Amino acid sequence: MIMPDPKQPENIEELLRFYAEAGHDEALSEEPVNRFEEPARKPRQKAERAPVAPASAPQAQAVPQRAPAKAAVPDEQQAMRARELASEAKTIEELHAALASFDGCNLKTTAKNLVFADGNPAARIMLVGEAPGRDEDLQGLPFVGRSGQLLDRILAAIALDRTSAYISNVIPWRPPGNRDPSPLETEICRPFIERHIELVDPAVLVTLGNPSTKLLLQTQTGIMRMRGKWAEHVTAGEKKIATMPTLHPAYLLRNPAHKKLAWRDFLEVKMRLDAAATSAE
């Protein structure tokens, strides 16, 4: 990708988007820094000898410094605790409270907000992505950045919006720098999203992208082979939910030619929802 010319005012927005997509999404200082400016040369000064302390002067004792606190590394014990908390939640509100109080995932220590869900929990369709990004972390809502805007347009194309759909993520806290969540971080968060799906009990589940598809469908098959084919997510209560794997909106922004594939997938979703509505009448 060619970096936009920062000297052109009309390229400022594009330049900021370039830096955000590259992971540089937080300022490090209050004042801008011109890193292309050559540092001014300082005149050489004669080195001065440090004064010698008298022999009788008392020696200053070094004060021991505390090591900075580090985030706890998640382990299997935390994964067990997550499973307990998730299974004890009887409502979506209780699950939200349990997740907000859970400190067993180190992603929580670097995130600004818990990103739980958005939309209508009584909707017939639930969509699950992987993890929040910068905009989602700031607002505490899933899919509100550029990929979220694309997702809204996709939903509108099949006559849905956030009042008739429910949206969440496998990981409820933003990984630093938008890095991929580790397998252990994903495993710790898994019980919460599985219980979340079970409590919502949608007629149709849509997994957005490779990570959520592999996790919720318990498969190692890649998304390009899985997408467009109906599968089943099995809850802890052994209920089978019709699931459509499809491409993540962020992937579609990078590969716009594949939007036609996602469109076919969502047409399948629309037909399944229409059929379910007809049979319920």
pLDDT tens for each residue of 82-115: 999 999 999 999 999 999 999 999 999 999 999 9
Q: What is the pLDDT of residues 219-244, one digit of tens each?
A: 999 999 999 999 999 999 999 999 99
- CB contact burial 143-153 (16+ within 10 A = b; e otherwise): bbbbbbebbbe
Say what the pTM is. Answer: 0.74
Collapsing DSSP to helix, strand or coil, 69 comes out as coil
Cβ atoms of 81 and 188 closer than 8 Å: no
156 membership: H or E segment, kind and range: helix 146-157
What residues contact 75, with CB distance under 8 A and at least 6 apart?
A: 184
Token pair belonging to 89: 């939640």
Any idea what the Cα angle at residue 258 is, between residues 255 and 259, rounded to 5°?
A: 100
What residues contact 120, with CB distance under 8 A and at least 6 apart?
A: 162, 163, 164, 165, 166
| Location of structure tokens 């052109």 | 8
Determine whether domain 76-280 maps to CATH 1.10.10.10: no
Once rounded to an integer, what is the mean pLDDT over residues 24-29? 57
126 forms beta bridges with 166, 205
Type of residue numbered 60 = A
| CA 3 to centroid of chain Cα atoms | 25
**Higher pLDDT residue, 85 or 8?**
85
Of the chain, the percentage scoring pLDDT greater than 90 comes to 70
Collapsing DSSP to helix, strand or coil, 233 comes out as strand
Quickly count: other Cβ atoms within 10 Å of residue 64's Cβ. Answer: 5
For the chain, the structural domain boundaries read 76-280
Token pair belonging to 220: 């190692």
117 membership: H or E segment, kind and range: strand 117-119
Q: Rg for the chain (alpha carbons), in Å?
A: 25
Among 146-155, 191-200, 217-226, 270-279, whose mean pLDDT is lowest? 270-279
Q: What is the pLDDT of residues 40-60, one digit of tens each?
A: 555 555 545 555 444 444 444
Q: Is the dihedral of CA 220, 222, 223, 225 positive or negative?
A: negative
Q: How far is CA 153 from CA 165, 179, 249, 259, 265, in A?
A: 13, 26, 10, 12, 14
Among 11-20, 166-175, 212-221, 266-275, whose mean pLDDT is lowest? 11-20
Cβ atoms of 119 and 143 closer than 8 Å: no
